[in-house]
Chains A and B, each alone.
Chain A
C-alpha cells in the first residue's frame, strides 16, 4: 500500500516500514531537540518524554537522531522497499 500526504505533495510512502525509530524512555530528558528539527512533526512530548506520534510523514532524514545528544533515539532504516519515495528529489 502506498500513502500520500496533503501537507507534503510529490512524496509517497510505502507501508510496512516497521518501528524504525525508537525512543528509549530512560535516556530521554524531554529536551525537545527532536521536535524542533523534525519537519514532518513526527514527535510529541508527553509527561516530559518524547514519543513518536506517527512516522507517516517521516522523510528518513535522521535529523532527530543527530540532535539527540542523550542517545535516546535508536535510528534504523525502514524495511527494504518501504518508506518515503519521490520522483523529485
Chain B
C-alpha cells in the first residue's frame, strides 16, 4: 500500500528524531525511517555533547531528562614529547572552575543508543510514526522534485518534503545529486574501545575530565603521521570510551595503513602511557571495539562547505549536510540546531504550499547565519596543529592545543556564544532560569541510578521553606529580566555589539589575564570547595519537581 505523509525524515540518529518530533508537534503527518533494527544500533560516537547543544538546542532536550553517562567539566591535554622517558607536558586550562563544576558542565558524555532512543520516543509521543529495519535506497522524483522515498523492500512512500538525516556518508544525498562524496582527507576513521571500569575508580582517576593526548609522530601515541588527530578518553558512568583517530588520506594523497598503525599505536599507548599503564590498565575490562568515520575537515574546504544542503522537496541536516565540528569533533549540537531550523522551514513550506528550492533556501540562509555552527565547522586549530607536528615546532603545537582545547579557545568561541546567548535572552527572557534548572536537573540525573531507579546518594528533600525560597528567587529573576525586556531593542543592540568585539578583546587581553585568572581560581580553591559542597547538597536534596520546566506549547518551533 502506498501511503502519503507530509514529512519523511530519513535516519533516526541524533538529528532525525528532533526534526520528526518538531514536525509532528506542528501537526504534520510525519514518518521517521531508520535502517537499523532498533534506533541507535548503528550510531557510533565519542562522545561529549558540548553544553551549547543543550542550552541552544531543542527545548524538549533542555527541559527534559535525556539519558547521559557523566557530566564533563573540561579537558586535560597531555603533550607527549618523549614517551620512553615520560616527558609529557600538560595543558588543563580549559575547565569549569569550582564551585560551578560539576553542576555547570562543559558537556555531557553519553552512549549513542540510549540517547537516540530517548529522542525517537519523544518523536513518537508527539505523533510521528517510526519505521525501523528499513533502508531508504532512492527517492521518488517527479518534475525535478523529491516526492518521497523508495525503500529496500521496493515500497514507495510519498511525502511533501524529505528531511535527510542519514549521517556523514551521504549515500542518498549523492544519489539525489545534491552533493558529492567527501574526499578521504576530510574523513577521520575513529578506532573505538569501550572498557568497563568501576565508578569509584573513574571518580578518582578521571573525575569529570576528558583526557586528550597529542605529540610527536615518532612517539607513536598520537597522532599517527603528524595529521592533527589525537587520542581521547572519555569517562562514563561505569565505563571508559577510548578513541584514536586518523584521516583516511594525507594532504600528500597517501592512504596510511591504518589497520597496522592503529594496532601498533594502541599497544604502545596502553603499555607506555604512564597514567594508562599504571592507573587505568589494571582496573579495566574490554567490553567492545568498533570503528566509524567522522567528517573532520569538511567545513574547512570552501567547496565542500558550500555544497547545497537542500533541493526541491528535500533538506539535509546534521552530518550529511557537512556540519560536524573540526576541533571537538562534535556534530551533535549542529545536528540538533539544523534539525530545528529544517523543521521550522519545512513546516512553513508546507503551510505555504511551496516546497521549491527557492523557498527552502531560507534553510541554508539560517545555517550560514548560525554563529555556533559556523564557528565549529571552520575552526582551524586542529588543522594547523598537524603542521606544527610535522615541523616539530613545540611553541606552535602548544599554542594550537591551547587555542583549540585550552583556555585560548575563549578567543574564538566567546563571540559566537555570546551572540547566540543574547539572541536567546531577547526572545525569551525567562531562558536564564530554564538554563539554571537544566543544569540542576541534569546533575540530579547524574546521581540517579538508572538500574535501580534510585538516587545513588541518599536524597531527602529539603524542608519546604528553603525550596520555596529558591523558587521565589527564580521567579524574581524572571520578573526582573521581563521588566528589563521593555528595553529589549536598546540593550540587544548594545549586547550584540559587545559580543562581536569579545573575541578580539580577549585575544589581546587573555595572554596577560590568564595567569592571574588561574591564580585567582587556585587561591579561591578552599572557598570554592566549600561552596561546591553546599551547592551539591542543595541540588541533591531538592525536590526534582522544582527543576522541571512547564511543557512548552504544541506547535512551538524554536531556532
- Chain A residues in the interface with B (C-beta under 8 A): 8-11, 14, 33, 35-39, 41, 59-63, 65-67, 69, 75-89
Contact = CB atoms under 8 A, between A and B. Distances in A.
B153 A80 contact: yes
B31 to A, nearest CB: 14
A88 B40 CA distance: 10
A83 B38 CA distance: 12
A19 B231 CA distance: 34
A38 B291 CA distance: 10
A25 to B, nearest CB: 20
A65 B135 CA distance: 18
A89 B38 contact: no
B141 to A, nearest CB: 19
A37 B255 contact: yes
Contacts of B288: 8-11, 86-88
B151 A59 contact: no
Contact of A67 (B36, B45, B113, B255): B255
Given A36-B259, A37-B248, A88-B290, A60 B111 contact: no
B194 A10 contact: yes
Contact of A76 (B171, B194, B286): B171
A89 B43 contact: yes
Contacts of A66: 181-184, 187, 248, 293
27 contacts: A10-B289, A36-B258, A39-B189, A39-B262, A39-B291, A61-B293, A66-B181, A66-B184, A77-B35, A77-B171, A79-B135, A80-B133, A80-B151, A80-B152, A81-B35, A81-B134, A82-B37, A85-B37, A86-B41, A86-B44, A86-B113, A86-B288, A86-B290, A88-B287, A88-B288, A88-B290, A89-B290
Interface string B109-121: 0011100000000
Given A59-B291, A66-B184, A88 B194 contact: yes
A66 B298 CA distance: 13
Interface in B249-288: 249, 255-260, 262, 286-288
B171 A75 contact: yes
Interface string B172-213: 000000000111100101011010000000000000000000
Contacts of A60: 42
Given A63-B248, A65-B169, A85-B41, 18 more contacts: A33-B255, A37-B189, A39-B191, A39-B262, A41-B259, A59-B44, A59-B291, A60-B42, A61-B189, A66-B183, A66-B187, A66-B293, A67-B184, A67-B255, A76-B137, A76-B171, A80-B36, A81-B35
B132 interface: yes
A75 B171 CA distance: 8
Contacts of B133: 80-81
